[in-house]
Chains A and B, each alone.
Chain A
Amino acid sequence: MSSEIVGILDYGAGNFGSVQRAIAALNVEAKAIRTAEELFHVSRLIFPGVGTAKQAMRELTTRNLAEPLKEFAKNGRPLLGICVGMQVLGEWSEEGDTECLGLLPFRVEKFRCKEPVPHMGWNSIVWNSSHDNFVCAQRNLSQDANFYFVHSYAAFVGKEMPTLPEFVLGETSYGGQNFAALVSRQNIWGAQCHIEKSGRVGLQFIENFLRWRNV
């Protein structure tokens, strides 16, 4: 592909506008992508999402976008899912017992803790500094940078695990449960937090994703 074309998937997700405004603030032009045909012409994609995993998968299926999205990712083109957009990159979500895209090997479950759910507010991320994309992803961000979260479901990281799964770029703890706050495997990226609403820190993370190149 000769030149970079950034797309934002427009499939009815409520935070599409916020993501669009965030990209505009970075002085990057991005196209709204509504069909598989349009998706074919972009080189990099941001995949927003709010609401439920079931709703998101239903919308993707109805609009014939689920398979093209998988193809997009398998072709090595960079893809960043946000919030529910990240959750559906996994295999399955407990929310509505939903089969997801299966691009990353995680399952999404509901918080089971004494703290109020949703986990809502600003929280920090413990970065996985041995991750392949760490240097690119964390560029210009401090170790204790805070991100804005709103979610009732998450890809939990078992505390008994000796090491983090290789795709976990950063984890966060809430109510005694650890979950994947940022995920990435080569070109496939996801953020559980609302990076489009996490101030300068969030915009920086989006910029870092936009700079990522397959080396």
Chain B
Amino acid sequence: MLKKRIIPCLDINEGRVTKGIEFKNNVDVGDPVELSCYYSDNGADEIVIYDISASAQGRPPDYATIEAIAAKSFVPICIGGGVREFTDAARCILSGAEKISLNSIAPKKPQLIREIADHFGVQAVVLSLDVLKDASCPSGYRLFIHGGRSATEWDMMNWLDFAIPFGVGELCVNSIDQDGKRSGYDLEILKLIKAHAQIPVIMSGGAGCAEHIIDACVSGADAALVASIVHSGEVTICELKNQMSKRGLSVRLDW
């Protein structure tokens, strides 16, 4: 049976892993290579690396760091931040990544989704979306870009209807309202998307305890992105998975 995945997310700023609350006030968490290695040896089903300053500084992803991570972490690696051109994506994959997460660039350049999917397969494209509650949008959520700083004209569901056919293999949904608050994922978003899209959904933003992850998986999430909850050391991925397993969710427990 296909397992529900736990995916630690490493936000990298100036070569260090950081974590913020509601996308602000970042604090230092550690070295990206050491942390990735630690997580991949301790039950992470995948690792997401977001180079949070790459987009803002207009530079490509840090390929040397990707390579260093891939040399020690033998689980799938997904890279986000700084991928603007097909060649950036191809270089990430050559450096050892399996997937490319597209966020701010996607509304500006949706054909990039197609270029990556055509060459590497749809499973290599993760569409990451930051959404904020907005009553003026038909779905109740508005798409934001630039790490949650800029509103777009897109309603969340309209955006998905438009973007997925370009060749999106998976969605990663970040609730700006919930990010770093540890009060649980926004399950309303999950239900909306699951009723609509046939591709795997990774929930992000807001996990504070195993119960939140279990709720999301029971509601149809295929994977949960975790950051604060595991970076702080208060719970391990192994403990999370044991609790998920006790609740009847199928998870990978041997590594």
Q: Are B74 and A200 in contact (CB under 8 A)?
A: yes
B118 to chain A, nearest CB (A): 10
In this complex, which of B2, B45, B93 has the most chain A Cβ atoms within 10 angstroms of its Cβ?
B2
Contacts of A124 in B (CB 8 A): 1
Q: Are A196 and B98 in contact (CB under 8 A)?
A: no
Q: Are A17 and B123 in contact (CB under 8 A)?
A: no
B68 to chain A, nearest CB (A): 11
User: Taking beta carbons and an 8 Å cutoff, which residues of B are in contact with A?
Assistant: 1-3, 5, 40-41, 45, 70-72, 74-76, 93-96, 98, 120-123, 169-170, 198-200, 222-223, 252, 254-255
Q: Are A201 and B254 in contact (CB under 8 A)?
A: yes
Q: Are B121 and A197 in contact (CB under 8 A)?
A: no
**Interface members, chain A 1-55 (any B CB < 8 Å):** 14, 17-18, 21-22, 24-25, 50-51
A62 contacts partner chain B, Cβ-Cβ < 8 Å: no
Complex Cα distance, B74 from A22, in Å, reads 7
User: Taking beta carbons and an 8 Å cutoff, which residues of A are in contact with B?
Assistant: 14, 17-18, 21-22, 24-25, 50-51, 116, 118-124, 142, 144-146, 148, 150, 152, 173-174, 194, 196-203
A-B contacts, 16 listed (Cβ < 8 Å): A14-B94, A18-B98, A21-B96, A51-B120, A116-B200, A121-B222, A122-B3, A122-B45, A145-B254, A146-B254, A150-B123, A173-B1, A199-B41, A200-B41, A200-B74, A200-B255
A54 to chain B, nearest CB (A): 13
Q: Are A14 and B93 in contact (CB under 8 A)?
A: yes
B242 to chain A, nearest CB (A): 15
Q: Are B254 and A148 in contact (CB under 8 A)?
A: no
Contacts of B45 in A (CB 8 A): 121-122
Contacts of A123 in B (CB 8 A): 1-3
B3 closest partner in A (C-beta): A122
Contacts of A201 in B (CB 8 A): 254-255
B201 to chain A, nearest CB (A): 10
In this complex, which of A22, A24, A145, A148 has the most chain B Cβ atoms within 10 angstroms of its Cβ?
A148
Q: Are A142 and B254 in contact (CB under 8 A)?
A: yes
Q: Are A118 and B169 in contact (CB under 8 A)?
A: yes
B170 closest partner in A (C-beta): A120
Q: Are A17 and B94 in contact (CB under 8 A)?
A: yes
Q: Are B98 and A150 in contact (CB under 8 A)?
A: yes
Complex Cα distance, B75 from A173, in Å, reads 21
